[in-house]
Amino acid sequence: MSSGAEIIRDYVKRLPDAPGVYRMIGEDAEVLYVGKAKSLKKRVVQYAQGRFHTQRIAGMVHLTRAMEFVTTKTETEALLLEINLIKQLKPRFNVLLRDDKSFPEILIRRDHRAPQIRKHRGAHTIPGDYFGPFASAWAVNRTVNSLQKAFLLRSCSDSVFETRNRPCMLHQIKRCSAPCVDLVTPDDYLALVGQAHDFLSGKSRAVQKKLADEMMALAEAEEFERAARLRDRIRAMSAVTQEQSINPQGVEEADVFALHAEGGQACVQVFFFRAGQNWGNRAYFPRIAGALDAEEGEENAGLMSAFLGQFYESQPIPRLILVSHTLAERELFAEALSLKSGRKVEIATPVRGEKRDLVDHALTNAREALGRKMAEGSAQGKLLDGVCEAFGLEARPERIEVYDNSHIMGTNAVGGMIVAGPEGFEKGQYRKFNIKSTELVPGDDYGMMREVLQRRFSRMVKDEEAGEATPRPDLVLIDGGKGQLDAVLAVMADLGVDDIAVVGVAKGPDRDAGLERFFMEGRDPFMLEPRSPVLYYLQRLRDEAHRFAIGAHRTRRTIDMKKNPLDEIEGVGPGRKKALLSAFGSARGVAKAAPDDLAKVEGISEALAERIFAYFRKA
């Protein structure tokens, strides 16, 4: 039997230098892979030459027994055909989107004299206005309920509507204007429908302002009951916007995709933004044949491209798509999606600003979702057994404490401790340590680590001596190499705590994940297998400690940035501080004021005015 490479080499002789789609066929006519190419001849010959093959691709070529080809007029047509065939055939070696269910949407029907608002899923076969997608049925149900309170649109079926002779309960609880029994005129009801349409189209502020102006006018005319009804509607609109977290100011309509891959698995987190609001998110775990064995950036870009193509085969396409990894064929994908949607579509990988913040937030969620999935699927106990074996512990660690420091040139230094065990991360046990020592040289990581461990374990020793129950770790991981390990061991020795294993985790050359070196007392530095599940687990622990320490540092730095010099002056509390800032505009204005001017501010005595004046002129 000829080898896969020989079979492919035979096809190359007859292939055109034209765009198209190819299928690699294995035993029993199984479709192994579907791909597209700008030039079929140039693309397929690469498989025959056997160069630059990853283990996954080499295995696919080895199994190939035949190939099929379809030429197209353009590369864009080839891309669209490739996406259709992947969804239809589900080849073993393609990255596959496992969950391609449609997302729920909100529909305002336009095929009835009294338009109905309802949840909808599936094809757009009903005449009307569609808004979405929403990440879950729960999210869309909650939003529909709030919109009913805000715009009083009916949700009942046509048959119920036509048979009503008196208002239903929804009207009684102020969620419907009862057009079924003409308690609202047709024109007024259509005006409500128009307001709902504008609100869901991104004009929420304009709609709320208009209603607020009407409410004020009614209140001035002493029509308080009608004004109160508008007030309740405005509150319902506010509930819709406030319940959606992370509402960007400059992004009206976009889908945000972030990919995180590790341990041969991947998670793509998708966030939906419509009408300037976050309409939910969902995590996907695409199927990958074999391990990810190409360069990380190249592999992730390919994963993202494959995922996007299949995702938008059945989902509505927004005007803007933000991705965490730059696509190798970004312009081609944008052109294909523009052709499919009938409008211009932009695909971007932002590097700064609000859009980058959205991508980073999605990336954090992808990382956490994959971490949860790996922890659940890999059997946490098995991972802990692996940790026990890797570090030569006497028993499986039930409590692991991980420490890291964060600072900028020694300022706002914070130490962080995270805790993990058989149930995963125990976030209720996390602790932060504001570095208090005034004797430390700014940026002294060893000194900061000594202070953190001294405070943590001296407290544990005191509690144990007093007979109080206190958590005691089985394993301590610290971010750093031999220097940090020696500093920590010295602290533990001083406290008489010599029965807790301590391990230093040093990042690899160029901080590459997978090349970490581990340091333990009495052992030479060592490494774990690059693709070991235990290594991935330890990396997640270290990264979580790093994330927590950075978050605590940023919080402290933000508090310091917001501090006002007036906070340091004895006798100036919140009330007097507010009065001074109102009178002089800023702390700088207060600093320039004379004592007589300061004393004119309500609540400021002459003595306090002199104290404030002197504070800003001290050497």
CATH of the domain at 471: 3.30.420.340
Structure tokens at 543: 């990264």
CA 540 to chain centroid: 17
Confidence grade of residue 51 (pLDDT, cut at 50, 70, 90): low
Whether residue 111 is predicted with pLDDT greater than 80 in this model: the reply is yes
Judge contact between 542 and 479, C-beta under 8 A. yes
Residue 116 CB-half CA count within 13 A: 16
Residue 245 confidence (pLDDT): 46
- Indicate which CATH number applies to the domain containing 597: 1.10.150.20
**16 is a domain residue:** yes
**478's tokens:** 């610290």
What are the tens digits of pLDDT across the range 331-368? 888 888 888 888 898 999 998 888 888 898 889 888 88
- Pair 21, 70: CB distance under 8 Å: yes
In a domain, 560, yes or no: no
Backbone angles phi, psi at 137, to 5 degrees: -65, -35
Decide which of 326 and 103 is more confident.
Answer: 326
Q: Do 226 and 265 belong together in one domain?
A: no
pLDDT in tens, 413-464: 888 999 998 878 888 889 988 887 767 777 778 888 889 999 999 988 888 8
Segment 119-143 mean pLDDT? 78
Answer yes or no: is 139 within a domain. yes
pLDDT category, 291, cuts 50, 70, 90? very low
d(CA 290, CA 531): 13
Instruction: Measure the CA–CA gap between 75 and 332, rounded to whole angstroms.
Output: 8
Specify if 459 maps to a domain. Answer: yes
**Secondary structure of 410-449 as H, E, C letters:** CEEEEEEEEEEECCEECHHHCEEEECCCCCCCCCCHHHHH
Give dist(CA 546, CA 402) in Å, integer.
Answer: 9
Domain that includes residue 344, residue range: 254-373
Q: Calculate the CA 125 to chain-centre distance.
A: 33
The enclosing H or E element of 519 equals strand 517-519
Query: Based on the structure, what is the number of domains in the chain?
Result: 5
Residue 317 in domain: yes
Residue 410, pLDDT score: 58
Q: Which spans in 466-605 are helix H? A: 482-495, 533-561, 574-584, 587-592, 595-599
Instruction: Indicate whether 98 belongs to any domain.
Output: no
Q: Are residues 300 and 233 in the same domain?
A: no
Specify whether 232 is located in the same domain as 299: no
Average pLDDT, the chain: 82
Q: Are residues 401 and 481 in the same domain?
A: yes
Q: What pLDDT does residue 1 have?
A: 45
Residue 501's pLDDT band (boundaries 50, 70, 90)?
very high
314 and 347, same domain (yes or no): yes
Which tokens hold the place of 208? 């709320």
Q: What's the CATH code of the domain at 80?
A: 3.40.1440.10
Within-domain flag for 584: yes
Radius of gyration of the chain (CA): 32
CA distance 83 to 81: 5
Q: What is the pLDDT of residue 462?
A: 87
CATH of the domain at 296: 3.30.420
* Whether residues 262 and 233 fall in one domain: no
Going by their DSSP bridges, the two strands 501-506 and 31-37 should be labelled as unpaired
Q: pLDDT tens digit string along 517-555?
A: 899 998 899 988 877 888 988 998 998 999 898 888 877
Instruction: State what percent of residues in the chain have pLDDT above 90.
Output: 10
> Per mean pLDDT, which range of 145-149, 394-398, 447-451, 563-567 is the poorest?
563-567
* Rounded (to 5) percent helix, strand, coil in the chain: 50, 20, 35
Contact between 276 and 360 under an 8 Å Cβ cutoff? The reply is: no
Average pLDDT on 396-408 reads 87
353 and 473 assigned to the same domain? no
H, E, C per residue of 43-99: HHHHHHHCCCCCHHHHHHHHHCCEEEEEECCCHHHHHHHHHHHHHHHCCCCCCECCC
Whether residues 133 and 234 fall in one domain: yes
Q: 292: pLDDT confidence band, cut at 50, 70 and 90?
A: very low
Identify the bridge partners of residue 34 per DSSP, sorted by sequence position. Answer: 23
Q: Kindly indicate the confidence band of residue 98, based on its pLDDT and cuts at 50, 70 and 90.
A: low
Distance of alpha carbon 521 from alpha carbon 501, whole angstroms: 9
Do 109 and 41 belong together in one domain?
A: no
Percent of the chain with pLDDT over 70: 88
Residues 238 and 258 in one domain: no
Instruction: Clarify whether residues 176 and 234 are in a common domain.
Output: yes
Q: Within a domain: residue 457?
A: yes
Q: If pLDDT is split at 50, 70 and 90, which confidence band does 619 have?
A: very low
Q: What is the pLDDT of residue 45?
A: 86
Contact 437, 356 (CB under 8 A): no
